Amino acid sequence: MHHSLKRSGGFRGRAGAAGVGLVEVLIAILILSFGMLGLAAMQATTLRNSQSAMQRSQAVIQTYSILDAMRANLAVARIGGYNLPANTCTAPDRDSLPTKDLADWIDALHAHVDPNACGSVQCGSHDCTITVQWDDSRATHSADADVAAAETSRKVVTETRL
């Protein structure tokens, strides 16, 4: 009789241990799933930031592009022939060399920076300021729509002497 009690006690011990192991596996899977969600969120943030950095780099490249065109036509650039009002988003008519260069520049901004990018060129006799502005809403995320709209506009300003 004493022998049968040992058997039933031993059997219960193994069943209890098997249940604890299953709970441990479920907890490990839960922790792993939260880790994978965190990894996916970091990857999404990295992609957004990479896109934003690429747009800034392209904006700088485009400011140098219009400056190169202006230096090739220096006499006209120094008298304001390349001046373009602030936040010009539509390419001007291509009726002269300066307006053709500016139209190509605005088209390049739309193609390489953002489809809604805008630019301006302000030159005096020697000093020039080139501004590129675009919407970078993919790189920012705010729950407040008004704050998000104010924070999404990005601007690159290049000042130089011709």
pLDDT for res 124: 87
Domains of the chain, by residue range, sit at 2-161
**CB distance 61 to 109 below 8 Å:** no
CA–CA dist 63, 85 (Å, integer) = 15
What is the chain's pLDDT, residue by residue, as a tens digit (162 residues)?
555 545 555 445 555 555 678 889 999 999 999 999 999 999 988 888 888 899 999 999 999 999 999 999 999 999 999 999 989 999 999 999 999 999 999 999 999 999 999 999 999 888 999 999 999 886 665 555 555 555 788 999 999 998
CA–CA dist 160, 162 (Å, integer) = 7
**Tens digit of pLDDT for each residue in 33-51?**
999 999 999 998 888 888 8
CA–CA dist 118, 115 (Å, integer) = 9
pLDDT for res 117: 95
**CB distance 152 to 135 below 8 Å:** yes
**CB distance 89 to 113 below 8 Å:** no
